[in-house]
Amino acid sequence: MKYIDLTYTITENMPVYPGTEKPVLERLEIDGYRETLFHMFSHTGTHMDAPYHVFRDGRKLDDYSIGEFTGRAVVIDVPCGVKVIEPDMLKAAEGFEFIILRTGWGAKWGTDEYFDGFPVLSLSAAEYAAGLGLKGIGLDSISVDEVGNNTLPVHRVLLGSGMLIIENLAGLEQLPSEVNFTALPLKYADADGCSVRAFASF
């Protein structure tokens, strides 16, 4: 079995969603032992969105069972130049538990280009995915919606179905077309989202 880490390392100078504060990692040494005090938003780096992120009565990450964070995933390649992902591009997802969209956008991580022009799902594609009974959808860009679209229509469709969204996945170029996928968030109360350790095995 081969394991591939799909997670960006959290650092103080890492890319974050425009308008969000970067994480602060305060290194402490007390009485000969070391600890780190984290100050960061719950949607930092490779992270997971829960329905509670956009719905006041939505399900929270701490309401999910551990088994809902892992499952069989199809890796779907989004052709270069495609800006809007339509339902026909998601047909291969039928029968799987997760979709991983490999857009190639991760190559822009760490540049200003990362935040603009990445492929997003059309509303009809989001509705199609929401009807497949999936546990979640992951991708190698910062959002399933365009940056600046604060109504988050694609988020609302996907999260409204109970699906999880995993954003800022790294290293997708290393994956075959089908993998076992896992993304594990911290278990904290009333979790709207959380940075995750995501990985694939095959």
Residue 102's alpha-carbon distances to 36, 82, 170, in angstroms, are 33, 12, 10
DSSP state of 85: E
Q: Are 173 and 5 in contact (CB under 8 A)?
A: no
Taking a C-beta distance cutoff of 8 angstroms, is the pair 159, 53 a contact? Answer: yes
Cα dihedral 84, 86, 88, 94, rounded to 10, equals 110
How many Å is the Cα radius of gyration of the chain?
17
Q: Is there a catalytic annotation at residue 39?
A: no
Kindly list the distances between the CA atom of residue 4 and the CA atoms of 77, 112, 117, 169, 202, in Å, as whole numbers in the listed order.
Answer: 18, 26, 27, 11, 9
In DSSP terms, 38 is beta-bridged to 25
Identify the active-site residue in 39, 43, 47, 53: 53
- CA 5 to each of CA 50, 80, 171: distance values in angstroms, whole numbers, following the listed order: 22, 24, 7
Phi and psi for 101 in degrees, rounded to 5? -95, 115
| Active site members | 53
